[in-house]
Every structure is written in structure tokens, then in C-alpha cells.
Amino acid sequence: MNNPVLLQNLRNIPDFPIKGIQFKDVSTLFKNPECLRIMVEELYEMFKDKGITKVVGIESRGFVVGAALALRLGAGFVMCRKPRKLPADTRKATYMKEYGEDTIEIHSDAISEDDVVLLHDDLLATGGSMKAAYGLVKEFNPRKVYLNFIIELTIEGLNGRAAFDNETEISTLIKI
């Protein structure tokens, strides 16, 4: 965790998307092949023995590493998207985030009760989007669900882990 190469390549953008937010730009990690390799390999090592059958990536930054990790794990990849982006029947959840309300959807046939699911996103701040995605995935009654983030913000007032019960397994690559 807190690999120095990842930390050195993570870009901070002040006042984005609104004043007062310190946006952690993971696109700098995605464009660097060494950083991308490090992230996928570190996550693979975390989850290779967990029996993951589906990786669910949350739009849109969760798609990048989530899809690469699914390939590496030999698992399927499921997109959790913004409204009206998925063509088939969906389930949806609305949630509050740091700077407004949002909704996410997942295909109604995306997950089965036999699946072991890894939910992946780029950032844990307040936990709103992941909690909504977690609730959607739990509706399918999979055997097990793990949560993972590239970055966890530990800034006072942003206790994203508090959005989940103590039995929810949460892992991150970087804590800042």
C-alpha cells in the first residue's frame, strides 16, 4: 500500500469540480504504463485467492483498472453506470455525494447468486457512490462482495468507511 511510484504520479487539482474540493486525478496513474502495471498487479495479489467471478467497475474511472483486473483474475466485468447508458433492463440507486445527488444503474442480469463480486472504484471519500453500488450488488444475493478503491481519503470529515458495517471488507492501494 502507498506505493511511492503511485504517490509520485498522482495529480492533485484544487477547486475541481467545485471550489474547495481537492480532486485526486487518477488519469495520471492510468496513462503511465508502470503505474497501471503496479495497480493491477497489487490488486491481483490482494484478490487472486478470493474466488472472484465478477468485477464491478463504477463509472467511469472504475472501468479502467476494474476491467484490467477482471482480465487478470479470469473474471467477468460488469459496468455500474450513470442513468440511461445501459441498453437492457436495469436496477438503479440514487445517492448523495460530496457535491450533489447522482444515480447509478446496473443490468438486471449482471450478477448471479453464485458470484463472488469485487466492487472497484477510484476513490473512497464519503462512500456514497460505493454504498449505492454495494446496495445494488447485494440485491442479487451473491456469495460474497468485496470493496476496493485505488485511493482512500482520510481527511477529517470524509470517513467513507463509516458508510459500511464492520463486516464489509474494504481495501485500498493508497491512503492519503
Q: Which residues are catalytic?
A: 61, 98
pLDDT digits (tens, 9 = 90+) for 37-92: 999 999 999 999 999 999 999 999 999 999 999 999 999 999 999 999 999 999 99
What is the pLDDT averaged over residues 120-137?
A: 93
Give the pLDDT of residue 156.
74
For the chain, the straight-line distance linking the first and the last C-alpha, in angstroms and rounded, comes to 11
Give the pLDDT of residue 170.
97
32-36, 43-47, 137-141, 154-158: least confidently modelled range? 154-158
Give the pLDDT of residue 101.
87
Band (pLDDT 50/70/90 cuts) for residue 157 is: confident
Domain limits, the chain: 49-175
pLDDT greater than 90 at residue 22: no
Give the pLDDT of residue 148.
98
pLDDT greater than 70 at residue 98: no
pTM of the predicted model as reported, rounded to 2 decimal places = 0.94
DSSP letters, 90-155, are EEEEEEEETTEEEEEEEETTS--TT-EEEEEEEEESS-HHHHHHHHHHHTT--SEEEEEEEEE---
pLDDT greater than 80 at residue 97: no
Please give the CATH number for the structural domain made up of 49-175: 3.40.50.2020
